[in-house]
Structure 1
Amino acid sequence: RQAKLLAQETEINLLTDQGRSLEDEIKEELAAARRAGAGARETLKQEGAQAEATLLEEVKRQAELEWATVEKKIQADMAKARASLQKQAQTFAQLLATKILGRELS
């Protein structure tokens, strides 16, 4: 009976050691997976930041090109309006002078 208890105690100790060993392996694998996950997350963050910076640069470049086009159109429209107003101002001045003087200017 004593030998049987001793054998069972030895088996319990062996199984406990195996359980601890498996638990340690699982903990190590879990820690390794967490490290790998953290590394992958950091890599994705860096790639995302780089993609964002590239996209922002492209959008900025496109906006600058569009702004230059709009600015040129505004300047051209202003030049046309200025020329038109100068012609109208001359005509208006002649009409006003004719009305004030009561005769046509030559």
Structure 2
Amino acid sequence: MSKKVLWVWSFNNRQQTVGTLAGTSGVTLRPIKFQKEMREVLAPEWEIEFISDDWSEEMPLADVIVLPKTNKTLYAERAKNANVVWVSGIEVAEHDYEGIKQKIVEA
């Protein structure tokens, strides 16, 4: 059975998009390609789901939650009991799949 990773790719509040550049959705020019390749790098040990986190709901549960490093302040309280990996926009923009995988595996 594979472990589950939730990657907070974008943000919303009560199903309304939050106007912030702090997510990872706008960092890469090819988001679908990035997500596909990230899935391939993690498979079969890890199953990854890219989500839009709704701040009006409870923090989603997973073995590991990937959050943009720029949102540490926003998630400080909300993610305190989660197994969180913080990823920078540079890691995403440079498609550092192996570096991100290493962070997830070590979490």
Higher percent of residues as helix? 1
Higher percent of residues as strand? 2
**Same fold at TM > 0.5:** no
**Interval of TM-score (by shorter of Structure 1 and Structure 2):** under 0.3
Q: Give the TM-score normalised by structure 1.
A: 0.15
Q: Give the TM-score normalised by structure 2.
A: 0.15
Q: Which has the higher contact order (CA 8 A, sep 6+)?
A: 2
Larger radius of gyration: 1
